[in-house]
Amino acid sequence: METSRKMLRFHWLDNFKPLTVFWSILLLVDIALVVAQRYFPEVLNTSDNFLFSANYGAIAIYLLVCGILMATSSFPLLMSFGIPRQKFYLNLIGTTVLLCAAMSLIQNIVVYVGYSVMQLSGITIEASITPFLLLWYCQWTFYLLDMFLFILLGTVFYRFGTLPGLITIAFYILVLNLVPDDLDFADNFELAASGLSNVTLSHLFLGITVVLIGIGWLLYRRAPVRTY
């Protein structure tokens, strides 16, 4: 338990600065967008309902990079401090779950506060925003899937090298192309997540994530740390 707490603290120390920088940039962009929408709507040429959509993509990209780094950098680093693989992996799951939950929560707050500010400043929002908890859950499952997909990709690169890593990327692209377009709600979460079908999809995401966690453990179980 003591080690787990220390590892969580390690991840916190490791991620605090990049997270602060990331959210500072994102918030500045959001504020600029709200101001631009209020005073120069013709410049943006976008619906008020889509104003914070870029955040979802940015968070997804941030988390996928984070996932790759956790697999390729945090693993050898923590192993060099004598952490057993099982503890590392359990902690990786815990950190990922918490990080995705926190990112979804912050984005939810941004969306809700953002829309309130917009309404107060006279911009009318036509569509209704998805309930807070539902929006959070849909995001959380999506980010979890996103992050574990890339933790797995990072692990394949770290353990088996470039060629198997590229084959995994090709496999991901193939699977993404097979996904029907109506399931793609990453563009506008706050509107698309309101439908029941998307909640079902979120459950599916959670299921796939559990499978990915299982595959990840098979890869980590006896993973060697590189000798350099």
- Where do contacts with other proteins occur on this chain (CB under 8 A)? 3, 6-7, 9-10, 13, 73, 76-87, 222, 224-228
- Distance between CA atoms of 188 and 53, rounded to whole angstroms? 5
Residues 98 and 217: their CA atoms lie apart, in Å, by: 19
CA distance 108 to 131: 10
Q: How far is the CB of 32 from other proteins (least distance, A)?
A: 30
Q: Which residues contact 60 (CB under 8 A, 6 or more apart)?
A: 142, 143, 146, 186
CB of 161 closer than 8 Å to CB of 103: no
Query: Given the complex with other proteins, which of 75 and 137 has the nearer CB atom?
Result: 75
Residue 127 phi, psi (nearest 5)? -85, 155
Name residue 195's amino acid.
G
Smallest gap from residue 103 Cβ to other proteins (A): 22
Residue 195 DSSP class: S
Find where tokens 């697999």 sit.
71
Q: Which is nearer to other proteins, 70 or 201 (CB)?
A: 70
- To other proteins, the closest distance from the beta carbon of 134 in angstroms equals 38
Least distance (Å) between residue 59 CB and other proteins = 22
Nearer to other proteins, 70 or 212 (CB): 70
Measured from the CB atom, the residue of 148 and 158 that comes closer to other proteins is: 158
Q: CB 143 → other proteins: shortest distance, Å?
A: 24
**How far is the C-alpha of 151 from the C-alpha of 10, rounded, in Å?**
18
- The Cα 113–Cα 90 span in angstroms is 34
Q: What is the 3-state secondary structure (H, E, C) of 35-80?
A: HHHHHCHHHHCCCHHHCCHHHHHHHHHHHHHHHHHHHHHHHHHHHC
Query: To the nearest whole angstrom, how small is the minimum distance from the Cβ of residue 145 to other proteins?
Result: 27
In the complex, the smallest distance separating the C-beta of residue 74 from other proteins, rounded to whole angstroms, is: 8
Contact indicator for 87, 4 with CB cutoff of 8 Å: yes
Nearer to other proteins, 41 or 84 (CB): 84
Instruction: Give 45 or 162: the residue with its C-beta nearer to other proteins.
Output: 162
* Closer residue to other proteins in complex, CB, 13/174: 13
